[in-house]
Amino acid sequence: MTEFRDPQFELSRFRLRLVAAAGFVLVCFGLLLARLVFLQVVKHEELATQAEANRIAVVPVAPNRGLITDRNGVVLANNYAAYTLELTRSQVRDLDATLEQLAQVVEITPRDRRRFKRLVEESKSFEPLPLRTRLSDEEVARFSAQRFRFPGVDIRARLFRSYPQGEVGSHVLGYIGRINPAEKRAMEDWEDERQANYRGTTSIGKLGIEQSYEELLHGIAGYEEVETSAAGRPVRRLRSQPATPGRNLQLTLDIRLQALVEQMFGDRRGALVAIDPRNGEVLAFVSRPGFDPNLFVDGIDLESWRELNESIDKPLLNRALRGTYPPGSTFKPFMAMAALHSGVRTGSQAMFDGGTFQFGNHTFRSHGDGGLGMVDMTRSIVKSSNVYYYALANDMGVDLMHAELSPFGFGRRTGIDLEGEASGILPSTEWKRRTYKRPEQQRWYAGETISLGIGQGYNAFTMLQLASATATLAAGGQRFVPRLARALQDPVDGRQTAPERPELAPIDLRPEHVALIHRALHGVTVEGTSTRVFAGAPYRSAGKTGTAQAVGIRQNEKYNAAKLEEHQRDHSLYMAFAPLEAPRIALAVIVENAGFGSEAAAPIARRVFDYALLGQVPSEEDLAATRQGRSSAPMGVPRAAASIALPGERSAAAAPLAPSAASASGSAAAALP
């Protein structure tokens, strides 16, 4: 059967299909063109940036940290470059097996493992952690040859902080350490520019000067733009901006004086702060025992951390900055000045010291078994009359004492350029209301005032506060904020600038009152409690010994050191300045649980003055006796100040000074300007 079709109809259908196909193709090409226009025109800048980011990596360049030196240019903190073996846990399948295999290629000590374990606990899995530092060239070559065996393990060249003087000045310098999670979270709140400056930085200042001047020492980070392959490996460097090193910092410290004082403490605990009363520069800032800050640079291991943190001697406690102690009789000169300034006493007023002071039904005892007889203000300081100051405190009252002594800096932070300073306690009725919760505790009782007069009771100050107050007294009321930073040096042009120093208004002290206290304090060194210690000194000094209770004893019970544990015995204190006519150095020193001030603290002060004013240090025999608390006036032939051996340099020849040179050097060659 033959089928008939309409050619015209078929042709029309074909044309329709052709138009539909052509339309579909045109629509597709239109969509493709639109997409092309969108990508090439509208999204051009964004996509070009992404492409560049895939091809180019911006690598931050951490700056060299600034150096720290003492006032004479001795290096206290510097940097060195070394190779470090680093491991990224997220890229390692079996951590323990990898460590065992690595130990066959490079040496990994038990301390390295302990330190690495501590870092693992504190860090995230994607962060590279140092397993070994300071690899030798041989170890680097040995690992590089077998690197393919250890995915997630690599060698990097890094800068490390070094403290060449070891323990000397450790509490002042502080240390740098790896940035911990808490510090990273705190950094997230920083402004963008500040955050960017710390990209690529793994360590920051944790304590002391390293912490206080962190951003100045850190410098400004640089960057490198590196073209990378598809595998992420660098192909070539496109451009870079070098990092700007941190500023170099010169301290006011004399590190040889610092080392001498630390040697004189020996194994004993305590603190000493020495200040130039003419400008507030800190010449020595000692806290004993100390620690080696180099332990913290790579990350301290758990065993070393426990040894430091759990020691009964508390080597990590900065006693000069944070340790608060009753000042004992070193408080009496300030009490006397407060009495003169307020008009409660005159210098000539005298009273009878019979050995006891009766207040109500309580008997306050003086030193020794008997009294001193009639004492005026000068004799009360020279012979250290407790009864005189019991009566004075009772006459003044706690609030007047607080008002008169607060300007000297007692009971408040000095503002020194170190973080973490304790404020201490200078009590008042308002202080007690703020401190205690129960009404009966908030009330001030008149009997509590009496012991304040001899530096006991609620009184508790740092050696920094006592040294600063002594410097103010030496300078006749002129006050300075104690400073450790002397100069900052720009690493680019070498220019030096002095850090800003807040100005303090002087205390309005009458010159005749200052002269009276100065004479009385000088009397302590020629006829008082420190006479033997300062015998033969070619300069005149002023000072006051103090003995402060570490624990209280029952009423009518006599103190007996032999019956107490070592940590319960009295503290030995001394405050002093010299030379008397034009003071250049003022200090406060405490030797914990060492007994009378004249036996332990004053001998250290005498030798500090000999160094600062005469340029000499004690003989080895005398140094050993001072360390053991068995010295008074210096014995043997003194040595030149240069003979103090620092860990960061070879020991200078211990050339003794001839007796004639020793006596003549007082005016010719002083160690401190």
Kindly tell me the sign of the dihedral angle through the C-alpha atoms of 435, 440, 445, 448.
Answer: negative
Which stretches of 243-361 are assigned E, i.e. beta strand?
248-251, 270-275, 282-288, 351-353, 356-359
Which of 54-58, 409-413, 650-654 has the least mean pLDDT? 650-654
Residue 298 has pLDDT above 80, yes or no: no
Query: 238-253 burial, b if ≥16 CB within 10 A, otherwise e?
Result: eeeeebbbbbbbbbbb
**Could you give the dihedral angle defined by the CA atoms of residues 477, 482, 485 and 486, in that order, rounded to the nearest 10 degrees?**
20
Neighbours of 40 (CB within 10 A): 10
Q: How confident is the model at residue 432 (pLDDT cuts 50, 70, 90)?
A: very high
Residue 2, pLDDT score: 53
Residue 564, pLDDT score: 55
Q: How far is CA 467 from the centre of its chain?
A: 17
Distance CA 633, CA 603 (A): 7
Query: 487-516 burial, b if ≥16 CB within 10 A, otherwise e?
Result: bbbebeeeeeeeeebeebeebebeeebbeb
CA neighbor of 161 nearest in space, from 126, 133, 119:
133
* Phi, psi at 324, each rounded to 5°: -110, 135
Residue 233, pLDDT score: 57
Residue 329 catalytic? yes
The stretch 60-89 carries a mean pLDDT of: 89
Q: 177 - beta bridge partners? A: 204
Residue 556, pLDDT score: 45
Residue 551 has pLDDT above 60, yes or no: no
- For the chain, the first-to-last Cα distance in angstroms comes to 131
* Phi, psi at 617, each rounded to 5°: -125, 160
Q: 548 - beta bridge partners? A: 571
Residue 128, pLDDT score: 79
Q: Are 177 and 171 in contact (CB under 8 A)?
A: no
> How many DSSP H helices and E strands does the chain contain?
26, 23
Kindly tell me the sign of the dihedral angle through the C-alpha atoms of 228, 229, 234, 238.
Answer: negative
The stretch 644-670 carries a mean pLDDT of: 49
Distance CA 541, CA 586 (A): 10
Distance CA 37, CA 34 (A): 5
| Proportion of the chain above pLDDT 90, given as a percent | 55
Identify the burial level of 1 via C-beta atoms within 10 angstroms of its C-beta, where 0-12 means exposed, 13-18 middle and 19 or more buried.
Answer: exposed
Residue 277, pLDDT score: 98
Residue 652, pLDDT score: 41
Q: What is the pLDDT of residues 591-649, one digit of tens each?
A: 999 888 789 999 999 999 999 999 999 999 999 999 999 999 999 999 998 888 898 77
Residue 328, pLDDT score: 94
Q: Annotated catalytic residue: which of 123, 203, 212, 329?
A: 329
Average pLDDT, the chain: 86
Q: What is the pLDDT of residues 321-367, one digit of tens each?
A: 999 999 999 999 999 999 999 999 999 999 999 999 999 888 898 86
Six token digits for residue 363? 């008997």
Reading phi first (left if > 0) and then psi (alpha if -120 to 50, else beta), residue 519 is in: alpha
Residue 95, pLDDT score: 84
DSSP state of 551: S
Q: How far is CA 621 from the centre of its chain?
A: 32
The stretch 651-672 carries a mean pLDDT of: 40
Q: How confident is the model at residue 655 (pLDDT cuts 50, 70, 90)?
A: very low
Which of 71-80, 171-180, 639-648 has the least mean pLDDT? 639-648
Residue 555 has pLDDT above 60, yes or no: no
Q: Which domains does the chain have, with CATH numbers?
A: 63-91+99-251 (3.90.1310.10), 255-668 (3.40.710.10)
Residue 670, pLDDT score: 43
Q: Are 355 and 369 in contact (CB under 8 A)?
A: yes
Q: Are 597 and 569 in contact (CB under 8 A)?
A: no
Residue 373 has pLDDT above 70, yes or no: yes
Residue 270 has pLDDT above 50, yes or no: yes
Q: Are 67 and 163 in contact (CB under 8 A)?
A: no
More confident residue, 227 or 283: 283
Q: CB under 8 Å, gap of 24 or more: what pairs does 112-118 form?
A: 114/301, 114/302, 114/303, 115/298, 115/299, 115/300, 115/301, 115/302, 116/87, 116/299, 117/302, 118/299, 118/300, 118/301, 118/302, 118/305
| 289 prior amide bond cis, ω within 30 | yes
Residue 634, pLDDT score: 94
Residue 647, pLDDT score: 87
Residue 385, pLDDT score: 94
CA neighbor of 639 nearest in space, from 284, 622, 266:
622
Residue 186, pLDDT score: 86
Six token digits for residue 606? 């005498």
Give this prediction's pTM. Answer: 0.84
The stretch 418-429 carries a mean pLDDT of: 96
More confident residue, 348 or 559: 348
Six token digits for residue 311? 């020691």
Residue 417, pLDDT score: 94
Residue 9 has pLDDT above 70, yes or no: yes
- Inter-CA distances, 520 with 90, 98, 177, 596, Å: 71, 72, 49, 20
The stretch 543-567 carries a mean pLDDT of: 63
Residue 663 has pLDDT above 50, yes or no: no
Six token digits for residue 459? 């009184």
Residue 563 has pLDDT above 60, yes or no: no
| 506 prior amide bond cis, ω within 30 | no
CA neighbor of 634 nearest in space, from 647, 649, 648, 621:
621
Residue 664, pLDDT score: 33
Q: How far is CA 410 from the centre of its chain?
A: 21
Query: 41-60 burial, b if ≥16 CB within 10 A, otherwise e?
Result: eeeeeeeeeeeeeeeeeeeb
CA neighbor of 227 nearest in space, from 77, 107, 383, 58:
58
Residue 68, pLDDT score: 97
Q: Are 155 and 135 in contact (CB under 8 A)?
A: yes
Q: Starting at the edge strand that comes first in sequence, how are the strands of the sheet with 56-61 ordered?
A: 56-61, 222-228, 234-241
The radius of gyration of the chain from alpha carbons, rounded to an integer in Å, stands at: 35
Give me the residue label for tokens 């790579």: 298
| Proportion of the chain above pLDDT 70, given as a percent | 88
